Structure 1
Amino acid sequence: MTRTTRTYWAAGTAVLLALLFAAAATVTAASDSDGGGTSARAPGLYSPDAGFARDMAVHHQQAVEMSFLVRDRTKDEPVRGLAYDIANTQANQRGMLLGWLDLWGLPKVVADEPPMSWMGTTDQHGGHTGHDMAGHDMGGNDMAGHDMGGGAAKPGALMAGMATKEELAQLGAAEGRDAEVLYLQLMTDHHKGGVAMAQGCATQCKTPAERDLARGMVEAQQSELTLMADMLKQRGAAPRG
Structure 2
Amino acid sequence: MRRLHIGWVAGAAAAVLVAAGAATYALAEDGSAAPSLKVPAADSADAGFARDMAVHHQQAVEMSYIVRDRTKNEEVRRLAYDIAQTQSNQRGMMLGWLDLWGLPKVSADPPMTWMGMGDMASGKDGALMPGMATNTELAKLQKLSGKQAEIFYLQLMTDHHKGGVHMAEGCAAECTVGVEKRLAQGMVTAQRSEIQLMADMLKERGAKPRS
The answer to whether the superposition gives a TM-score over 0.5 is yes
TM-score, normalised via structure 2 length: 0.90
Contact 2:3 / 2:75 at 8 angstroms: preserved in 1? no
What do residues 106-150 of structure 1 show as CA deviations (whole Å, max 9, x unaligned)? 00001x211101013xxxxxxxxxx9xxx6xxxxxxxx34xxxxx
Q: Percent identity?
A: 61
TM-score, normalised via structure 1 length: 0.80
Provide closer, same or farther for how the CA distance between residues 99 and 224 of structure 1 changes in structure 2, counting only shifts above 3 A.
same
1:107 is matched with which residue: 93, 104, 109? 104
1:55 aligned partner, one-letter code: D
Contact 1:63 / 1:86 at 8 angstroms: preserved in 2? yes
Unaligned 5+ runs, structure 1 = 121-130, 136-143, 146-151
How far off is 1:160 after superposition? Answer: 1.1
Contact 1:49 / 1:205 at 8 angstroms: preserved in 2? yes
Which residue does 1:52 correspond to in 2? 49
Provide closer, same or farther for how the CA distance between residues 29 and 180 of structure 1 changes in structure 2, counting only shifts above 3 A.
farther
Contact 2:10 / 2:86 at 8 angstroms: preserved in 1? no
2:109 aligned partner, one-letter code: E
Which residue does 2:6 correspond to in 1? 8
Within a 5 Å distance, the mapping from 1:36-51 to structure 2 comes to: 41-51=38-48
Q: Distance in 2 between matches of 1:91 and 1:164?
A: 20
Within a 5 Å distance, the mapping from 1:194-233 to structure 2 comes to: 194-233=164-203
Please state whether the residue corresponding to 2:193 is helix, strand or coil. helix
Indicate yes or no: 2:207 matched with 1:237.
yes
What do residues 19-47 of structure 1 show as CA deviations (whole Å, max 9, x unaligned)? 32432342243256349xxx951000100
Please state whether the residue corresponding to 1:227 is helix, strand or coil. helix
Q: Distance in 2 between matches of 1:154 and 1:228?
A: 26
How far off is 1:15 after superposition? Answer: 2.6
Q: Distance in 2 between matches of 1:154 and 1:183?
A: 21
How far off is 1:219 after superposition? Answer: 1.1
Larger Rg: 1
Provide closer, same or farther for how the CA distance between residues 180 and 154 of structure 1 changes in structure 2, counting only shifts above 3 A.
farther
Q: Which deviates more, 60-69 or 12-21?
A: 12-21
Contact 1:17 / 1:216 at 8 angstroms: preserved in 2? no
Which residue does 2:114 correspond to in 1? 118
**Runs of at least 4 residues off by over 6 Å:** none
Provide closer, same or farther for how the CA distance between residues 236 and 18 of structure 1 changes in structure 2, counting only shifts above 3 A.
farther
Q: Quick check: which one's helix share is greater? A: 2
Work out the number of aligned pairs and report it. Answer: 208
Which residue does 2:140 correspond to in 1? 170
How far off is 1:226 after superposition? Answer: 1.2
Q: Distance in 2 between matches of 1:172 and 1:70?
A: 8
